[in-house]
Amino acid sequence: MSGLDAPTKGSVNYDGVNLYQLKEGELAQFRNRNFGIIFQNYNLIQDLTAYENVEVPLLLAKKKNRKIRNPSDLLEMVGLKDKIHTKVSLAGL
Give pLDDT tens digits for 4-52: 788 888 888 888 999 988 998 898 888 878 876 666 666 788 889 999 9
Give pLDDT tens digits for 43-92: 788 889 999 988 887 777 665 435 667 889 889 988 999 999 998 876 54
Give residue limits of the domains in the chain: 1-37, 41-93
Q: In which element (H, E) is residue 58 found?
A: helix 50-61
| CA–CA gap between residue 92 and residue 83 (Å, rounded) | 18
| CA–CA gap between residue 22 and residue 16 (Å, rounded) | 12
Decide if pLDDT at 2 tops 90. no
pLDDT of residue 70: 84
pLDDT of residue 62: 66
| CA–CA gap between residue 47 and residue 86 (Å, rounded) | 9
